[in-house]
């Protein structure tokens, strides 16, 4: 299990334990994180699981994959340098404590 | 058995035999019973397995390796030899490109289409869509009785789509007629005479789509429209996209891109006005409108069923289904599933998880037009609640619904506009 924080625009946060191997879009859905919808089920066709990795927590999630990269260019809420589709982030020890800002 | 089940008009015999896929009357109660008693059942009339639980349907949508989309737009009632002849002679060569295509073709085409059909691009059109909506609302009288379908929801989504595709607005009525015909041919219950006439309509419609693409190719592909985008992406290379694929894509978007929104809008207005308290909530607090759109899509799902074909023997909800079988997913039943939605048969614009519906599908075939449809319906409600806050339904019941197993929306929606 790792710990994941989702941070809302008003600064409030939701903390949850996530089993290793589970992608963080599924984890968000299981935790009823607002504005994460995962409508395409992780096939990188909708961008409704867009998050911004808050690197101030000391954890980096790495660069987006090629197709993910294209989808991120299309998000209405605006892409940032640490934007990721959370369906492409899989819970692993390296991501323990990661903070994800929810994009509205 | 609860009271509303007793009002179900088909309350004898097995579920499969009682299933009336084309009819609205009694549908909600029927599926409520199915979800509780037999969530996966066989229907002989359509030779299909009907799936009614949200979790099962979502799992099917997310499993394209075992469930092919190839049958999703096939005519429910197979065409006769005469109809085939008309289509062949008329060079009706529409081929699967999106919703009814499997990978890898689906991936190739979706990636190209998605560079245009995406939320960021749609957002650029917001002001123009609002303007079109205001213009259409301005054609309504200040007071009195009107049919909102005819006056508003029928043509407006087509006009919006034409803006994106780059087709003259004057064509919207003709295209609406053609797409009505297309959907009746695929999901309706036409007579043989209707089907013969309908086949000629399909040919005319496809010819129109070809001419739109060919005219654009001739006049230049620099424009900021969908057809130009597809032609630029193709750049003369059949390996990227063939011309017939482009004709088919245009044909697809010119139909799917507005009929759904027309029905979704009319359904939403019907639901809101059937329960005035819900409408009044939006008038008082317009920030509820986005969620009301989701609740409308959930409660009155505009496309009620969608098909898949099993590529292997499968088991759904404990029921064994052989390879090659037709699966009919009841999207409206998924959206009324008690395990996913509290008090699902109530329409509640403040429902917290309304957006978890499957009205736009799920997985690799998730509707590419979803952000556009959402924006159009939101703008329509924002403008209507402002212009006609006292609008009322003339008659809540006795609404006429089309005889169609896919598309569902009121044929007419008479309202008193109020002061």
Average pLDDT estimate for B302-310: 97
- What are the start-end ranges of the H helices in B168-319? 172-187, 192-219, 226-234, 243-274, 276-284, 289-299
Any idea which residue has 């037009």 for tokens?
Answer: B369
Average pLDDT estimate for B360-384: 95
**What are the tens digits of pLDDT across the range B4-21?**
444 444 445 699 999 999
Q: For B291, which residue in chain A has the nearest alpha carbon?
A: A35
Any idea which residue has 């009107």 for tokens?
Answer: B146
Structural domain contains residue B268: yes
Between CA B76 and CA B190 the distance in angstroms is 10
Sort strands B48-51 and B326-330 into parallel, antiparallel or unpaired: parallel
Between CA B117 and CA B110 the distance in angstroms is 9
Between CA A80 and CA B147 the distance in angstroms is 46
CA distance B143 to chain A (A): 38
Q: For B108, which residue in chain A has the nearest alpha carbon?
A: A67
Between CA B114 and CA B101 the distance in angstroms is 15
With vertex at residue B148, the alpha carbon angle to CA B354 and CA B187, rounded to the nearest 5 degrees, is 65
**What are the tens digits of pLDDT across the range B341-369?**
999 999 999 999 999 999 999 999 999 99
Cβ distance A41 to B363 less than 8 Å, yes or no, reads yes
Which of A32, A45, A47 faces B364 most closely, judged by CB atoms? Answer: A45
Structural domain contains residue B155: yes
Q: Which residue has the higher pLDDT, B252 or B6?
A: B252
Residue B100, C-beta contacts closer than 8 angstroms, at least 6 positions apart: B69, B70, B71, B72, B73, B74
Structural domain contains residue B330: no
Between CA B167 and CA B255 the distance in angstroms is 13
Structural domain contains residue B192: yes
Between CA B129 and CA B275 the distance in angstroms is 28
Which of B62, B111, B368 faces A41 most closely, judged by CB atoms? Answer: B62
pTM assigned to the model: 0.92
Q: Residue B369 corresponds to which tokens in the numbers above?
A: 């037009």
Instruction: Give the residue from B74, B4, B85 showing the smallest Cα distance to B406.
Output: B74
Cβ distance B366 to A46 less than 8 Å, yes or no, reads yes
Structural domain contains residue B10: no
All structural domains of chain A, each given as residue ranges with its CATH number in brackets, are 2-102 (3.10.20.30)
Between CA B387 and CA B176 the distance in angstroms is 26
CA distance B237 to chain A (A): 22
Is-cis flag, bond preceding B104, omega within 30? yes
Interface of A with B (CB under 8 A): 32, 37, 39-41, 43, 45-47, 67, 70-71, 73-76
Any idea which residue has 């009322």 for tokens?
Answer: B392
Mean pLDDT of chain B: 93
Per-residue pLDDT at A2: 96
CA–CA distances in Å: residue B44 to residues B15, B16, B49, B336: 11, 7, 9, 24
Structural domain contains residue B23: no
Residue B357 belongs to what domain range?
Answer: 78-303+352-416
Interface of B with A (CB under 8 A): 58, 61-62, 110-111, 114-115, 118-121, 123, 353, 355-356, 360, 362-364, 366, 368, 370-371
Contacts with A71 from chain B: Cβ below 8 Å: 114
Contacts with A44 from chain B: Cβ below 8 Å: none
Cβ distance A46 to B120 less than 8 Å, yes or no, reads no
- In this structure, what DSSP letter does residue B118 have? S
C-alpha torsion sign, points B183, B185, B189, B193: positive
Average pLDDT estimate for B219-245: 96
Q: What are phi and psi of B16, to 5 degrees?
A: -60, -40
Contacts with A76 from chain B: Cβ below 8 Å: 119-120, 123, 371
Per-residue pLDDT at B8: 46
CA–CA distances in Å: residue B148 to residues B277, B331, B376, B408: 20, 25, 15, 16
Structural domain contains residue B43: no
Any idea which residue has 């065409």 for tokens?
Answer: B79
C-alpha torsion sign, points B144, B173, B366, A8: negative
User: Which CATH number do you get for residue B131?
Assistant: 1.10.630.10
> What ipTM did this prediction achieve?
0.83
Average pLDDT estimate for B15-35: 95
Beta partners for residue B315, in sequence order: B320
Structural domain contains residue B35: no
Between CA A66 and CA B68 the distance in angstroms is 26
Residue B91, C-beta contacts closer than 8 angstroms, at least 6 positions apart: B203, B206
Beta partners for residue A23, in sequence order: A90
Beta partners for residue B305, in sequence order: B330
Most confident among A31-45, B194-208, B301-315 (mean pLDDT): B301-315
Between CA B66 and CA B74 the distance in angstroms is 19
The SS3 of residue B51 is: strand
Element (H, E) at B50: strand B48-51
Beta partners for residue B392, in sequence order: B416
Q: Residue B111 corresponds to which tokens in the numbers above?
A: 């990636």
User: Cα-Cα-Cα-Cα dihedral of B407, B412, B413, B417, to 10°?
Assistant: 140
Per-residue pLDDT at B133: 98
* B1, pLDDT greater than 50: no
Residue B143, C-beta contacts closer than 8 angstroms, at least 6 positions apart: B417, B418, B419
Contacts with A25 from chain B: Cβ below 8 Å: none
Work out the burial of residue B243: count CB atoms within 10 Å of its CB; fewer than 13 is exposed, 13-18 middle, 19 or more buried.
Answer: middle
Average pLDDT estimate for B246-272: 94
Average pLDDT estimate for B78-82: 92
Number of domains in chain B: 1
Spans of chain A below 70 pLDDT? 104
């Amino acid at each position: 299990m790792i710990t994941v924080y989702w941070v809302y625009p008003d600064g409030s946060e939701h903390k949850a334990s996530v089993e290793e191997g589970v992608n963080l879009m599924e984890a968000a859905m299981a935790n009823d994180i607002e504005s994460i919808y995962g409508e395409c089920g992780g096939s990188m066709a909708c961008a409704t699981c867009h998050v911004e990795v808050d690197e101030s927590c000391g954890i980096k999630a790495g660069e987006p994959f090629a197709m993910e990269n294209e989808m991120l260019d299309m998000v209405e809420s605006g892409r940032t340098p640490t934007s990721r589709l959370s369906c492409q982030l899989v819970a692993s020890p390296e991501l323990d404590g990661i903070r994800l800002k929810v994009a509205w | 058995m609860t009271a509303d089940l007793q009002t179900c008009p088909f309350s004898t015999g097995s579920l499969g035999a009682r299933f009336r896929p084309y009819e609205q009357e009694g549908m909600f109660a029927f599926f409520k019973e199915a979800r509780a008693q037999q969530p996966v059942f066989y229907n002989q009339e359509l030779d299909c397995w009907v799936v009614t639980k949200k979790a099962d349907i979502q799992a099917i949508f997310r499993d394209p390796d075992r469930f092919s989309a190839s049958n999703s737009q096939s005519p429910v009632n197979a065409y006769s030899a005469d109809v085939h002849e008309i289509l062949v002679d008329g060079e009706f060569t529409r081929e699967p490109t999106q919703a009814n295509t499997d990978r890898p073709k689906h991936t190739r085409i979706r990636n190209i289409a998605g560079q245009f059909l995406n939320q960021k691009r749609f957002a650029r059109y917001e002001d123009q869509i609002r303007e079109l909506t205001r213009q259409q609302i301005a054609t309504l009288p200040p007071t009195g009785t009107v049919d909102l379908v005819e006056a508003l929801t029928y043509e407006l989504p087509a006009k919006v789509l034409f803006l994106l595709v780059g087709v003259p607005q004057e064509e919207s009525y003709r295209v609406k007629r053609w797409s009505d015909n297309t959907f009746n041919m695929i999901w309706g219950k036409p007579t043989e005479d209707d089907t013969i006439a309908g086949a000629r309509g399909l040919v005319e419609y496809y010819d129109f789509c070809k001419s739109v693409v060919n005219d654009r190719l001739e006049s230049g592909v620099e424009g900021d429209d969908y057809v130009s985008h597809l032609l630029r992406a193709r750049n003369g290379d059949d390996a990227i996209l063939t011309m017939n694929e482009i004709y088919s894509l245009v044909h697809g978007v010119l139909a799917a891109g507005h009929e759904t929104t027309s029905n979704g809008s009319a359904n939403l207005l019907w639901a809101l006005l059937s329960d005035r308290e819900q409408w009044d909530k939006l008038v008082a607090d317009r920030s509820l409108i986005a969620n009301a759109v989701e609740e409308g899509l959930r409660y009155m799902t505009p496309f009620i069923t969608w098909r898949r074909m099993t590529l292997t023997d499968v088991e759904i909800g404990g029921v064994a289904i052989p390879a090659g079988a037709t699966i009919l997913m009841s999207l409206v039943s998924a959206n009324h599933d008690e395990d996913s939605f509290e008090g699902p048969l109530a329409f509640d614009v403040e429902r917290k998880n309304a957006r978890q519906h499957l009205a736009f599908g799920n997985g690799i075939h998730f509707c590419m037009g979803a952000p556009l449809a959402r924006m159009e319906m939101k703008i329509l409600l924002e403008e209507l609640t402002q212009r006609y806050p006292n609008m009322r339904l003339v008659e809540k019941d006795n609404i006429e619904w089309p005889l169609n197993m896919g598309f569902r929306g009121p044929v007419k929606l008479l309202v008193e506009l109020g002061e």
